Structure 1
């Protein structure tokens, strides 16, 4: 199946070839960072908890790299506590609400995670994160501690509050992801790599986080329901099913797909803000750090739209497609072209008999128009280049065999 994917998408094969030619393996990158001791262990944890994030963080400008690595690990520790269903409710809320204080306490660790928590080791050795956090400049510490405090309070609230309304859905996503956008934007500004306005216009930063979080929540519905939880707001799924289990059942498939499409539409509304945010980022490594997750998100949400497989399994974009997105997320024009292409794909999937048709069409039309008016050279063509690359490949192959067969004549 993987071979067929490469054949059907030759530009992905080409992108993968050049990506691996230009990028060192993660372990070599860590060596090149020239870190040691506790910070080396922190980068080890970064690799353990998220290899995809580790790659882009390690490519950041040195003025931001360690600070964002530690910011990520602190929030990962907070998230590990939130996800742990074995911690009693009252104790969990206390830990979440006080986590911004423990990051200042040398020697603090947590060894009571449940047996199924994959990132438990991070909390067991959390003292190394604390040690390095305390070495950061004070202005970096202040931003990280403030976001940790606000996120912990929000997580604590939703340990006993269900996501029912669209307002609570937006609020929950703000606490767990929008605040990450706030914190990163403030760190970009504090580092002086980006203009101070990036750390002040936090509405756009919030949308960056919400688009990522809502895409993940939409995609993960099957896994979450089977785990006994659901982050889809009842204001949406309650229109299509009486229980979360009914939502993903095959007997309710038509209504389940309608609910899925409404969730996708809710996420798609953040795309204009995402492109506006990326347009203000100037430093190349910061741009890639911000852009790569967003191009992955639009690829994922377009894949999920009107796709019944989402209700049965955890769907993911192809590895080749992911590598292509990573390799092409270098500048705003390239990212706009990627978004435009995925909007074209979405347009083809958005049939008139779909209840979300009008809303999705409005988002597509407005965003494509905005891209066309701001993109150098105007709107991209709908021609995907896959066919051109495939034709060139076949011509080369035919020429090779012709040369081989006629060599003896």
Structure 2
């Protein structure tokens, strides 16, 4: 609650969205099932992705369980891939056979750190829950896990040299997630089966945003993490990828960053096409919130040397606004238009990729404008913050303290998971 108070001092307009987010988080924690294996899965989901846990709670119960297990299975697979202490001759066979392990209630593998180590050590809970899903869900999860594991295994021994390699890697680790979710949505009976191309773009847009944003964290990781910025892009600006983080290379680093962002923008049209065809409101919100977060993050990162100096991410209050206000496709068009306008305002026409960047932004904005659904809507980006008196801010703090005390008093007992 203290973090909310600090955020509200800087941006008072964030108060109610942050408060709603806090209440929703507490509600999600209370909805953790009592069965040991499901209790473990949903508790783990909150630990590895709190925001994901919030949007998944809105799905219908069967689909919610399937998406939860799908996410945890792929998180576990990703934990194996990311653990640089595992020799390739051990890691590759595990990745390739992972889709078989999810049927084995006794299988587990020691790797990862913190909550990811717990996930791997107690993976039998995930397998037990997986085996309770209906057959259509199991088959979709198995298929995507098999394809993703094979793709990850391929890139253990292969560097990302070209932009085609970059797209291929992102397809394996994220595009396939988009395909898998489309399969799960279809199996639930609520959505048609979307074309692979636009399902793939939904994943690529998110993955490329993460790769761009996490440059410094990944390059500084010990033991050294694998990097996925394609050589075809970064070699135009520096001799070694790590050179981008040095202050003397700031100008070239920003140009390279802008090149990477421009590459990611190509997926926006497919993402908007995918979202506008969704029919179920809960599935729509589940898909739309991460996509809006991605375009918002790209707008922050573009032309921003801080990507190479520290952490660049959307403030918590703005994230809360996105979660609170994203209800219709008109909201999505508004958000994409707003954030792409911010990005466009940062384009330096001397940048080597400026014309391509502008072209891709304007193409996305035209789709938003042609939709005719976002005019006069409340913007995600409040340009003129309202004036708040110290007395009103103090009153807000008192209200927050009362609500926090109420939530604490009604906090459920922690679930004990049997091993």
Q: What is residue 261 of structure 1 aligned with on the other side? A: 258
Q: What is residue 196 of structure 2 aligned with on the other side? A: 202
Kindly report which structure 2 residues correspond to 1:219-234, keeping only aligned pairs within 5 A, or say none.
219-227=213-221, 228=224, 229-234=226-231
Q: What is residue 404 of structure 1 aligned with on the other side? A: none
Q: What is residue 395 of structure 2 aligned with on the other side? A: none
Shift of 1:223: 1.5
Shift of 1:118: 4.5
Q: What is residue 207 of structure 2 aligned with on the other side? A: 213
Distance in 2 of aligned mates of 1:131 and 1:384: 44
Distance in 2 of aligned mates of 1:350 and 1:10: 29
Shift of 1:51: 1.3
TM-score where L is the length of structure 1: 0.89
The 3 A distance-change label for structure 1 pair 185 and 92 is: same
Distance in 2 of aligned mates of 1:86 and 1:384: 43
Q: What is residue 11 of structure 1 aligned with on the other side? A: 13
Is the counterpart of residue 163 in structure 1 residue 166 in structure 2?
no
Is the counterpart of residue 348 in structure 1 residue 345 in structure 2?
yes
Distance in 2 of aligned mates of 1:160 and 1:117: 27
Structure 2: 5+ residue stretches without partners: 393-419
Distance in 2 of aligned mates of 1:166 and 1:73: 29
Distance in 2 of aligned mates of 1:2 and 1:39: 30
The 3 A distance-change label for structure 1 pair 241 and 184 is: same
Is the counterpart of residue 235 in structure 1 residue 217 in structure 2?
no
Distance in 2 of aligned mates of 1:260 and 1:377: 30
Matched-pair contact (CA < 8 Å) for 1:6–1:13: yes
Shift of 1:243: 0.8
**RMSD after superposition:** 2.3
Shift of 1:219: 0.8
Bigger Cα displacement from structure 2, 124-133 vs 364-373: 364-373
Q: What is residue 54 of structure 1 aligned with on the other side? A: 53
Distance in 1 of aligned mates of 2:93 and 2:25: 42
Distance in 2 of aligned mates of 1:386 and 1:347: 16
Distance in 2 of aligned mates of 1:108 and 1:43: 19
Bigger Cα displacement from structure 2, 355-364 vs 299-308: 355-364
The 3 A distance-change label for structure 1 pair 191 and 2 is: closer
Matched-pair contact (CA < 8 Å) for 2:335–2:380: no
Distance in 2 of aligned mates of 1:110 and 1:52: 27
Matched-pair contact (CA < 8 Å) for 1:82–1:155: yes
Kindly report which structure 2 residues correspond to 1:4-403, keeping only aligned pairs within 5 A, or say none.
6=8, 9-20=11-22, 23=24, 25=26, 28-32=27-31, 34-111=33-110, 113=111, 116=113, 118-195=115-192, 197-198=193-194, 201-227=195-221, 228=224, 229-376=226-373, 378=375, 385-387=382-384, 390-391=386-387, 393=388
Shift of 1:8: 5.4
Matched-pair contact (CA < 8 Å) for 1:177–1:209: yes
Highest relative contact order (Cα 8 Å, sep 6+), 1 or 2?
2
TM-score where L is the length of structure 2: 0.87
Distance in 2 of aligned mates of 1:334 and 1:124: 41
Distance in 2 of aligned mates of 1:105 and 1:132: 11
Shift of 1:224: 1.4
Distance in 2 of aligned mates of 1:38 and 1:153: 28
The 3 A distance-change label for structure 1 pair 20 and 129 is: closer
Structure 1: 5+ residue stretches without partners: 398-409
Distance in 2 of aligned mates of 1:123 and 1:51: 19
Deviations 1:323-346 (A, max 9, x none): 111111211111110111111111
Shift of 1:368: 1.2
Matched-pair contact (CA < 8 Å) for 1:344–1:382: no
Q: What is residue 401 of structure 1 aligned with on the other side? A: none
The 3 A distance-change label for structure 1 pair 64 and 350 is: same
Aligned residues: 388
The 3 A distance-change label for structure 1 pair 348 and 43 is: same
Shift of 1:52: 1.5
Matched-pair contact (CA < 8 Å) for 2:33–2:42: no
